[in-house]
Amino acid sequence: MYRLILVAKFLIADDHPLYREALISALQPLFENVDIIQSDGLDSTLEALQQHSDFDLVLLDLNMPGCDSFYGLIRVSQDFPKVAVAVVSASDSVEVVCKVMNLGAKGFIPKSTPTIVIAEALKQIMNGKNWFPEDMQTDIEDYVPAIDIAKLVGELTPKQFRVLRLLQNGLLNKQIAFDLSITEATVKAHISAIFRKFNVNTRTQAVLMLKYLDIVE
């Protein structure tokens, strides 16, 4: 069986227990000694990263609680720039792969990837190289992203990002306050902070900044 002869420490960030167990089962035979930490949402992922500074790789699901499209990847990449991140996703959209690459991920591994291919992907990523599905390479090279807003979005707090998402959904301040169990004054304060960080003056301008984050399944 294909085995990487090294010690490795992973953080598997995915909210589906069965998939985490499946990924652990796939990882363990690949290494002589492997340490695997698990998380099931953005908050627990950030907490794990704060507690452990020696992860070789974070395997990150895009759609677990708190991540909301690419926000989880942006948050992890911005807050822990020295930690390599590979996205593990059920999506195989070229646009998603290209955005993931543009936002700082070192790899994109579809959840349907065979174990032997996962092994090669991990080997390349942990050796400092990027890895993306071979059958997407041409499309990736041809893709030109519309805009990279990772730095700007990374400056938003999780609460500010949730407010912005609700603005995108067309909710009024009163509705946002109800959904988030906060006051309208707090909502207005969050919106003012978003405007300041994005250097915009209207809700429409702020919402347009999120267009790049929309995932096409």
Domains annotated on the chain, with CATH: 4-142 (3.40.50.2300), 150-213 (1.10.10.10)
Q: What is the pLDDT of residues 82-111, one digit of tens each?
A: 899 999 988 878 878 878 887 888 999 988
Are 108 and 97 spatial neighbours (Cβ–Cβ below 8 Å)?
yes
pLDDT of 172 strictly over 80: yes
- Burial class of residue 128 in the structure, from the number of CB atoms within 10 Å of its CB (0-12 exposed, 13-18 middle, 19+ buried): exposed
Residue 133 structure tokens: 């599905």
pLDDT of res. 148: 57
217: pLDDT strictly greater than 60: no
Q: At 4, phi and psi to the nearest 5?
A: -90, 125
Dihedral of the alpha carbons of 175, 179, 182, 185, in degrees to the nearest 10: -20
The whole-number average pLDDT for the span 23-50 is 89
In this structure, are residues 3 and 29 in contact, taking their beta carbons and an 8 Å threshold?
yes
Read off the pLDDT band of 143 (50, 70, 90).
low
Specify whether the CB–CB gap between 176 and 166 falls below 8 A: yes
The Cα–Cα gap between 64 and 61 comes to 6
% of residues, the chain, pLDDT over 70: 87
Q: pLDDT band for position 39 (50/70/90)?
A: very high
pLDDT of the residue at 125? 86
Q: How much is the pLDDT for 214?
A: 61
Mean pLDDT of the chain: 84
In angstroms, the CA 94 to CA 34 distance is 31
Model-wide pTM > 0.75: no
Q: How far apart are CA 138 and CA 95, in angstroms?
A: 12
Structure tokens at 7: 């010690």
Asked if residue 14 has pLDDT above 50, the reply is yes
